[in-house]
Amino acid sequence: MSNNLNKFTHLCNSNGLNTSLNYSLIRNLHNSVNPHPYTGDRHFSTRNISGRLFYRRRPKMVPRYKAKKRRSCWLEGAPQKKGIVVTVRVTTPRKPNSGLRKIARVRLTTGRTVTCHIPGQGHNLHTHSVVLVRGGRCQDVSGCHYTLVRGKYDLLPVKNRSSSRSKYGIKMTDELKAKLAIKKKDFHVTTDLDREIFNKIRIKNWVNLDGSPYEDSVQSDEDVPFDIFRFNTRWRRIINSNKEA
């Protein structure tokens, strides 16, 4: 077949016919004899979609970035928000804890209503009370991601609280201030190095009981100035860091 085709091509070129006519005759003959001239190449084909490996195959795992979900998002970046109490109720905590947790539904100034935990023992809240809401979830109550601030607006401080007072809105009493002042005066310089450093470096605002500047040296049997404990912790750290440098 190929020999006959070559002979026909040579005959068309040597018979004196028009060049365009020869080209059309040769092209039509090639197409009729060999419709797929490039048999060595792969022809176009579609994927077989009938079977388990197309529809039911496990998709490739593509990791996707998930934005961190902020539980206190309705504060809108503010440290606290003012709100009005809608309802006050008690609820049971999650396992294995037991008891009753005091919570309140509060409508913020943004219009969003959130569930807030009431810290401390006892409260005086009721409907339409004005409160201050901060972030901080109750760990054993579902959906409670906010906490009310004690001692602000209508929510009173906790009664008879001595430890962690600032968290529950209790001010330091004068009796407690006097007690702490006496306790600080009882602090003493523990080593001779502390006495030596204190005599070399003296803070200017240290005064005697009568108000005069304290300019004497600390002796082994002498009462130390007020707030000497802060001197021990602060100045010894500074001097040691300078020695290392």
Note whether 105 and 138 are same-domain residues.
yes
Residue 105 covered by a domain: yes
Q: Between 217 and 2, whose confidence is greater?
A: 217
The answer on pLDDT for 203 being more than 60 is no
Note whether 150 and 217 are same-domain residues.
no
The 10s digit of each residue's pLDDT in 140-163 is 999 999 999 999 999 999 998 888
Residue 45 covered by a domain: no
Note whether 152 and 210 are same-domain residues.
no
pLDDT, position 58: 66
pLDDT, position 226: 46
Residue 99 covered by a domain: yes
CB-neighbour burial class of residue 69 (10 A; exposed 0-12, middle 13-18, buried 19+): exposed
Q: Strand pairing partners for 104?
A: 88, 116
CATH code for the domain of 151 = 2.40.50.140
Tokens of 182: 């006496």
Note whether 86 and 156 are same-domain residues.
yes
The 10s digit of each residue's pLDDT in 88-139 is 999 999 999 999 999 999 999 999 999 999 999 999 999 999 999 999 999 9
Residue 229 covered by a domain: yes
- C-alpha–C-alpha distance, residues 166 and 139, integer Å: 21
Q: Stretch 46-71: mean pLDDT, rounded?
A: 72
Note whether 111 and 195 are same-domain residues.
no
Domain span at 26:
2-33
Name the one residue in this structure whose structure tokens are 């077989």.
48
Tokens of 51: 């079977």
pLDDT, position 225: 52
Domain count, the chain: 3
Of the chain, the percentage scoring pLDDT greater than 70 comes to 52
Sign of the Cα pseudo-torsion (225, 228, 232, 237, in order): negative
The 10s digit of each residue's pLDDT in 173-191 is 888 888 877 666 555 555 6
Residue 69 covered by a domain: no
Residue 39 covered by a domain: no
- Top-confidence range, 22-31, 53-62, 151-160: 151-160
Picking from 144, 168, 192, the residue at the C-terminal end of a domain is 168
The CB-side HSE value for 188 (13 A sphere, CA atoms) comes to 9
Note whether 81 and 152 are same-domain residues.
yes
pLDDT, position 150: 96
The answer on pLDDT for 56 being more than 50 is yes
Q: DSSP assignment, residue 63?
A: -
The 10s digit of each residue's pLDDT in 2-26 is 555 555 555 555 555 555 555 565 6
Cis peptide before 35 (omega within 30 of 0): no
